[in-house]
A = this chain, B = another copy of it.
Amino acid sequence: MTGNTIQLDKNGNLKHFLTTEGLSQSLLQKILDHAESFASVGERAVKKVPLLRGKTIANLFFEPSTRTRTTFELAAKRLSADILNLNIATSATSKGETLSDTLHTLEAMHCDMFVVRHANSGAAHYIATQVAPHISVINAGDGRHAHPTQAMLDMFTIRRHKPDFSKLRVAIVGDILHSRVARSEIHALNTLGVLETRIIAPHTLIPKDVENLGVQVYHDMDQGLDGVDVVMMLRLQKERMTGALLPSEYEYFQRYGLTSKRLEKANPDAIVMHPGPINRGVEIDSDVADGERSVILQQVSHGIAVRMAVMAMTMGRNPENAGATE
């Protein structure tokens, strides 16, 4: 698997975190276990552990993102690392510097980790092949390819509510075609051994290679939600509406919006997830987003714990000594 050869060091430990694809079930479980150790840090009076003290982490955002950048920044600060926020779109590369030169320059500044978001699929993977051996790369979203920390915070949230993945039916609803989140979720769910992963979307928003993904495809939402334990909604990018892919916001909501009524098709204890930010009334009704089965805000909290776990693991640090407050 591509995922293993570059993501793991020779001892099988996580070196980079680029995709959930190809990682073993035991490694994914280990990430979740470590995140469990970090989850309590956010609830302490002093939300800080000294695990990455004196490390330098660079947020390399080639594509703007406040929310994801902020969670990585907080994760880094709570691990006591120094963090640099670099908005690459507006900086050195605009002076004609190559990506490779920008990376090697940051390496020479003794950065230890690059958190990368980029509009091109494969960008984080490419960067991981370019950097010096001591540097770890974490993919914070690359094109339509992968968003592995989002997928793992989703897995963490599922496991907290439904610890036995082998019994779960999970439905992912929305624009699967353009969604790096969906791809990373599907790989993680399959590796963690869920009973069934379903995708629910119009024909125009299903990727061509869907048969390789190990999922059941539904175009009718009522059928797709029938008997599921987890409903994972995707954010609808409004720009899809202007193309030929979707008729209108109204019609989309009629067919694929999650309402309380529609949620009745799912199991009575099904949880509802969304990576945020949510478009109320487009892909999800406010009743459901704010309802008792919604775990959307828990996902946000878990996002910091999962990112702390991945950052610490790729730096070779275990959370065992994270219990001690700095």
Chain B contacts for A42, CB-based, 8 A: 109-110
B84 touches A74 (CB 8 A): yes
A108 touches B300 (CB 8 A): yes
Number of interface residues of A (CB under 8 A): 51
* Residue in chain B with minimal CB distance to A104: B297
Cβ of A53 within 8 Å of any chain B Cβ, yes or no, is yes
CA distance A108 to B67 in the complex (A): 12
Q: How far is the CB of A294 from chain B (nearest CB, A)?
A: 11
Interface residues of A (CB under 8 A from B): 42-48, 53-56, 66-67, 70-71, 73-74, 77-78, 82, 84, 86, 91-92, 95-98, 101-102, 104-105, 107-110, 238, 276-280, 297-301, 303-304, 325-326
Chain B contacts for A86, CB-based, 8 A: 66, 70
Q: How far is the CB of A238 from chain B (nearest CB, A)?
A: 7
* Residue in chain B with minimal CB distance to A45: B54
Q: How far is the CB of A309 from chain B (nearest CB, A)?
A: 16
Chain B contacts for A78, CB-based, 8 A: 82
CA distance A152 to B5 in the complex (A): 42
Chain B contacts for A82, CB-based, 8 A: 47-48, 74, 77-78
What are 27 A-B pairs with beta-carbon distances under 8 A? A42-B110, A46-B53, A46-B55, A47-B56, A47-B82, A47-B110, A48-B53, A48-B82, A56-B74, A66-B86, A66-B92, A67-B91, A70-B109, A74-B109, A77-B82, A78-B82, A96-B277, A96-B279, A97-B276, A97-B277, A97-B278, A101-B277, A101-B278, A108-B297, A109-B303, A110-B301, A110-B304
Q: How far is the CB of A84 from chain B (nearest CB, A)?
A: 6
Which of B91, B95, B108 is close to A298, meaning CB atoms less than 8 Å apart?
Answer: B108
A238 touches B104 (CB 8 A): no
Q: How far is the CB of A271 from chain B (nearest CB, A)?
A: 15
Which of B47, B70, B92, B304 is close to A67, meaning CB atoms less than 8 Å apart?
Answer: B92
